[in-house]
Amino acid sequence: MNEPDAEVVQPAMLKRPVDSARYGGVVRPDKTVRWAADALKQVRQLRGRSPDTWPTPTALPESLDELAKLLTELGWDDLACLARREELAVYRTLSDVQPGLFADQIVHALAALRRASWSASGMRKHSR
């Protein structure tokens, strides 16, 4: 789980301005940025630790999911994609140890990555 050379979300990446046209939150964007920083802090504490030391068997990927949701809310789809890719990689690693146990979570992570990638590429639909 410790991939120092992997492309992952880092604290400095959260220092960008929030696009007010994209931000759709019900609270101020600075609070959402703070929540994203807190979620990233949790992720960083879990990275590199063995899954058997996590508070729950899926603590890291669940923290990455929360981080990705906050990044998406801020309109930072490229960073959300990084978090989703890491979430997927963690679930795949966990699945290698316990085959089939995390199939639903992998499907969820793949679907969320697809949505984030789609948004990041600017191909959002105007209506649903």
How far apart (Å, rounded) are the C-alpha atoms in residues 58 and 66? Answer: 12
Instruction: Return the residue matching tokens 């984030």.
Output: 116
Would you give per-residue pLDDT tens digits along the chain (128 residues)?
A: 444 445 899 999 999 999 888 887 788 899 999 999 999 999 999 998 999 999 998 999 999 999 999 998 898 988 999 999 999 889 888 877 666 667 677 777 777 777 777 776 665 443 33
Residue 91 pLDDT: 84
Give the global pTM.
0.78
How far apart (Å, rounded) are the C-alpha atoms in residues 65 and 100? Answer: 20
Ranges of each domain in the chain: 24-120
Chain centroid offset of residue 110 CA:
12
Residue 107 pLDDT: 72
